[in-house]
Structure formats: structure tokens, C-alpha cells
Amino acid sequence: MDSIVQPFEPECIIRIFIAAVCGSLIGIERERRAKNAGIRTHILVAISSALMMAVSKYGFFDVVGYEGISLDASRIAAGVVTAIGFLGAGVIFVRKENTVGLTTSAGLWATVGMGIAIGAGMYVTGIVFTIFILIIQFILHSHFLYSSAFTSAEMTVSIKDMNLTLEMVVASLKKAGISVRNAQLEIADDSSLVFTGRVVFRSQMSVSELMCRIRRLGFICEINRIKIS
């Protein structure tokens, strides 16, 4: 009677464990930024892809060599890459004219690639790839390459003109030298308009100058919050 535990299974468990560690590192970075896909999601994606790659390589060893049976070890891995597209699409949202979640979606796809590599036994490649992902997320997300030119801030202001639309507010801010991302315009409890969004402006512009430019627009009745990020 064959052993219940196959000779290759301890090695596969080690691969899944390494994939879990690498996936958790990627997930921690996403969790810190309060993204939809956090630690648990990235760990599950990493270990699932590692398991499926291991199954793709070793799961059919008992039928190999039988007459009329041919196997392609890459078929399951190819299916994993295709299937992750549905999960990645689920974390992408379109709000007004802005799209959010693209980086998280790409990160999930990258995590699958890492899991497949480690599941295939390419430990060094998978670990180094994880380090690359973390470098990209931490350094580039902090706008390291653009910090000398632009500064961004979360802004919330109250608007007294109820006839203004979001497009009109964004256009007015742009004329004042202030770009806007992830903008929203809502009606507050006191029936006033509240504008929220991330504003991007040149680093040479101080916060006080930014506030002066905003007030000069004429339709701003109160600056509720400006938080440099």
C-alpha cells in the first residue's frame, strides 16, 4: 500500500509557507494604506497560486506513463493567471472621472506570479520579486520621484453656491494652479455643498498660499480640512 504522504509533499508545504510569508509582506503594505485587498487577501492569493502550481507539477504523477495519457504541467498555472483577472477587477472602482484600485489589482496579479514561481520551486526568484514589489509600493507610492516638484493634500471645503457642479469646481481649482484627484461633491446636513478630494500643487506653494488661492475662488465659504499627505 502506497504511503498517504507522497515524497514531494513536504517540499510543497515549504513552498506554500514561503508564499504565505511573501504574500503577507505585500498585504501588510496594502493594509497600511487601507486598501480593499489587505493581508488576508494577499496571503490567500499567494498560497492558493503556490498550491495550484504544485498540483499542476506533481498532482498527476500517478497516471504519468499510462498509455494514451499526456500531461501539460502548465495548464493549471495558465488557468490561475486567467482567473485572477476576475478578482482583480473586483477591487477596481470608478468614481466620477477617477479610477481607483488599479494598483491593488495589479498587486494581486503580481502576488499570483510570485506564488506560481515559489510553487514551481523558484524560491530565489519569488523572494526577490516580492522585494521588488515592496520597493515599488513603498518608494514610488510615497511620490519619491516627484516630491521635489509637487505636494498633495486631502482637502474638504464648504461651498455656498448650490448651483455649482463638480466639474465647475474642479475647473476653477485647475485655473488656480491646483489639480484635483478623487473629487466628490455632496450635500451636507445643513443643505450646503461639501467638496472633498486630493489636491496636487507645486511644492513651492505654501499651505497659506494654497488657502489664499482657494478663498479667492469666491464660492468657498469655509475650509474644513487640509491635510498634507
Residue 107 · residue 91 · CB < 8 Å: no
Phi-psi region of 186 (alpha: psi -120 to 50; beta: other; left: phi over 0): beta
At 76, give phi and psi (nearest 5°).
-65, -40
For 111-143, b where at least 16 C-beta lie within 10 A, e where not — what string?
Answer: bbbbbbbbbbebeeebbebbeebeeebeeeeee
Q: What's the average pLDDT block by block, 10 residues per block, for the chain (229 residues)?
A: 67 91 87 75 90 83 64 74 74 57 80 90 91 81 55 85 85 88 81 84 82 86 80
In sequence order, the β-bridge partners of residue 200 are 152, 179
Amino acid at 91: V
| pLDDT value of residue 129 | 92
Half-sphere exposure of 79 toward its Cβ, with a 13 Å CA cutoff? 9
Phi, psi for residue 90 in degrees, rounded to 5: -70, -15
Spell out the domain ranges in the chain.
9-141, 150-228
DSSP-assigned letters across all residues of 47-111: HHHHHHHHHHHHTTGGGTT-TT----TTHHHHHHHHHHHHHHHTT-EEETTEEE-HHHHHHHHHH
> Could you tell me which residues come within 8 angstroms of residue 123 by beta carbon, excluding any fewer than 6 positions away?
15, 18
User: For the domain 150-228, what is the CATH code?
Assistant: 3.30.70.60
d(CA 196, CA 203): 21
Label the pairing between strands 150-159 and 220-228. Answer: antiparallel
What are 227's strand-pairing partners?
Answer: 154
Question: Shortest CA distance to 226 belongs to which of 170, 214, 217, 218?
Answer: 214
